[in-house]
Amino acid sequence: MYDLAAAPVPTTPAIVPASLRVTLAYGQDLVSAEFSGLRPLPSAPTVYSAFHWTAAPDQVPTLAVAPVFLGVGEGGCLFVDLALAPSVITVTGRQRVREELGAELANRLGAAIRDGARRFAVVVAGRPFHPDLLVVDPILVERLDDFDPARLADHVDVCFVVCALTAPADAQAIHRLSTPRPGRRIVPILVDEVVAADWSLFAR
């Protein structure tokens, strides 16, 4: 397995302490979700939470930049603002469930762009899951090295790159994409058997 624990953690803007550990019902399966730390967007309020519990999965948090419904827990329906991830998001565990969950993240982010004119983009690199699981039209690239953030539309503030790691060079590409830069933010979502990052989903 590739160890991504050493992925660069941004120091500016400052990381606001935030954490959540919860077990969620995802369809007929369970997902263990663990989130430690967050990185606020420059335009976000000083005090801001990435985690939002609502009464129903269609009650989307209005202040969130990239809210994604992850499942049902004791607090209700959990939405997480993926734009506030401090670095890499990992999706690990049983292959079938993790691939379905990875595809669902891409689909829900893509649907949010389609329905709400959100200022982010979704890229799927390689085959982190079967293409038939996609129901939206993300940007598709064959390899991580084929993705060039400079070619994104000017209005895009955050770009989510959903991928799997197939070679050591891919891990290097993830480190490069995760490096903080002024302006646009890149958030890799790794759907693979890797060491869990600070934000992780484990499919049981």
pLDDT digits (tens, 9 = 90+) for 30-49: 999 999 988 876 665 555 68
Average pLDDT of the residues in 104-112: 94
Q: Tell me which residue has tokens 């060079």.
A: 169
Alpha-carbon distances, residue 142 vs 33, 125, 134, 180 (angstroms): 29, 6, 15, 24
Token pair, residue 127, equals: 């085959």
Give the DSSP per-residue string, the chain. Answer: ----TTSPPP-SSPPEEEEEEEEEEETTEEEEEEEEEE---TTS-SS--SEEEESSTT---SS-SSEEEEEEETTEEEEEEGGG-SS-EEEEESHHHHHHHHHHHHHHHHHHHHHH--SEEEEEES-SS-GGG--S--EEESSGGG--GGGS-TT--EEEEEE---SHHHHHHHHHHHS--SS-EEEEEEESS----SEEEEE-
pLDDT digits (tens, 9 = 90+) for 47-83: 568 899 999 999 988 878 899 999 999 899 999 999 9
Q: Tell me which residue has tokens 């038939």.
A: 132
Given a cut of 70, is residue 14 above it in pLDDT? no
Token pair, residue 113, equals: 């762009």
Given a cut of 60, is residue 3 above it in pLDDT? no
User: What's the pLDDT band for 168 if we cut at 50, 70, 90?
Assistant: confident
Q: Tell me which residue has tokens 């991580």.
A: 144
Phi, psi of 145 (to 5 degrees): -65, -15
> What pLDDT score does 175 carry?
87
More confident: 115 or 33: 33
pLDDT digits (tens, 9 = 90+) for 126-161: 999 999 999 999 999 999 989 999 899 888 889 999
Token pair, residue 111, equals: 């649907």
Percent of the chain with pLDDT over 70: 87
Q: Tell me which residue has tokens 């519990």.
A: 53
Token pair, residue 178, equals: 């995760």
> What pLDDT score does 13 carry?
38
More confident: 159 or 178: 159
Cα torsion 166, 142, 27, 67: sign? positive
More confident: 194 or 18: 194
Under 8 Å between Cβ of 149 and 183 = no
What mean pLDDT value characterizes the chain? 85
